[in-house]
Amino acid sequence: MAPRRGGDGGNAGGELPKRLKTDGAILQTIKDFAEATARAGIRGEKRSLSDLALEESCREVAELGSGEVKEEIEKLVLSVTKSILQGQGLAYTVPSRTSANQLYVEELDRIVLKDKTSIRPFASSSTVKKTAITTRILELVHQLCSKQIHVTKRDLFYTDVKLFTEQAQSDTVLDDVSCMLGCTRTSLNVVASEKGVVVGRLVFVEDGDRIDCTKMGVGGKAIPPNIDKIQDMESDALFILLVEKDAAFMRLAEDRFYNRFPCVIVTAKGQPDVATRLFLRKMKMELRLPVLGLVDSDPYGLKILSVYMSGSKNMSYDSASLTTPDIKWLGVRPSDLDKYRIPQQCRLPMSELDVKTGRDLLEEDFIKKDPRWYQELELMVKNKEKAEIQALSSFGFQYLSEVYLPMKLQERDWI
């Protein structure tokens, strides 16, 4: 069933539906925006840590192929063997991943790791076990890269429970090994479980299979845990619509929103998982498309956007491959509540914890750097009101896809 333009917006929705222009006019607006984004992307593309004259020296990891990872491990093992033969014993130099060693780089708009390291000697009672674990993890990763298979952190833990004792141990050392080898955790062939789905104007090859995301019904395609299996992305979309929640994704997929306004729709169903973050970044980089974020109007919606954009502190060493710069905050923004006349009953009072979380966010770099984001968040904290994307259903089930989003696009109403 093809969605009709405008529509009656269900039972209510006021004047807005009448103010909607033709789809052609709205499309032209998005086209201009998409082209501007692509041009900016080409200009800004070379920005990496090495281009910036930072006072502090920083460390970043890269996406490496299985062969390269094997080579790095072999080099490392050779060097420690040499150290042992020279009578200096077994020790690893491990980059520090504590918050004291983290830095938010405004020019890159993400958190990176500074270059402090520590020595992990085998001949010390405090580090002997960690050194043994590090050696074992290096061996297991070498095995994974040789076999070219992928496993989860949990699988890795179970290969040697006796040594690792608990999963936190093998997990931590795995992140250490990423930093030591200078590659992403995904390059180690250890992946997170998948949660995300994608639908819309995107075609890619996954492990040899050609996937056409316009032909994935209403359920969409599950985003695979191993991003390196994805190749040859192609798209005639004008933008990527990043959706916080499942329900909104479902509405847009069922209405085939992407056929009316060419786009790719992606969601991680809540907290962004690593696979979805990698996938989003890959799309953004290869297709040079603008990304518009549709999240709940509450502090957690903003936090979710920030994880996509600036990364989580825990994995700051890998911020380059996990973050997608320049995501636009499309909605639902605190100012939308009045602008779109969301009924009072559909707004929820913020709890004390919500308000505190909001106030804390006001101090975060990614909010402070854009006065418009700051103002919106200030408004939320002041009014102490939040709203879910689904609050738009109060004007009819298809208000989101037939009125709210077209209007947002028409008015370039993103920040």
Binding site for a second copy (CB under 8 A): 1, 10-11, 143-144, 147-152, 154-162, 191, 193-195, 197, 206-211, 215-226, 229-230, 246-247, 250-251, 254-255, 269, 343, 345-346, 388, 390-394, 396-398
- Shortest distance (Å) from residue 247 CB to a second copy: 4
What are 120's strand-pairing partners?
92
**What six digits make up the tokens of 121?**
């000697």
Smallest gap from Cβ 177 to a second copy, in A, equals 17
Of 34 and 144, the one with the shorter C-beta distance to a second copy is 144
Are 230 and 206 in contact by the 8 Å Cβ rule? The answer is yes
Distance of CA 156 to the CA centre of its chain: 24
The phi, psi pair for 300, rounded to 5°, reads -75, -35
CB of 159 to a second copy, least distance (A): 5
Phi, psi for residue 23 in degrees, rounded to 5: -60, -35
Q: Which two tokens stand for residue 149?
A: 């298979």
CB of 202 to a second copy, least distance (A): 13
Contact in structure between 265 and 249 (CB atoms under 8 Å) = yes
CA distance 319 to 102: 11
378 is in an annotated binding site: no
Which CB, 96 or 401, lies closer to a second copy? 401
- Cβ of residue 116: shortest distance to a second copy, in angstroms? 34
Separation between Cα atoms, residue 182 and residue 64, nearest integer Å? 9
Cβ closer to a second copy: 193 or 271?
A: 193
Tokens of 136: 């074992």
> Cβ(113)–Cβ(317) under 8 Å?
yes
CB of 277 to a second copy, least distance (A): 15
Q: Please, which residue, 43 or 215, has the CB nearer to a second copy?
A: 215
Report whether 376 belongs to an annotated binding site: no
> What minimum distance in Å lies between the beta carbon of 199 and a second copy?
9
* Least spacing, CB of residue 56 vs a second copy, in Å: 38
Rounded CA-CA distance 208/16 in Å is 46
160 or 365, CB closer to a second copy?
A: 160
Question: Which residue number, 116 or 256, has a Cβ lying nearer to a second copy?
Answer: 256
In terms of CB distance, is 285 or 346 closer to a second copy? 346
Cβ closer to a second copy: 157 or 373? 157
The structure tokens listed for 108 are: 């890159």
**Residues with catalytic function:** 158
Which residues make up each annotated binding site? Answer: 244, 296
Which residues make up each annotated binding site for Mg(2+)? Answer: 244, 296
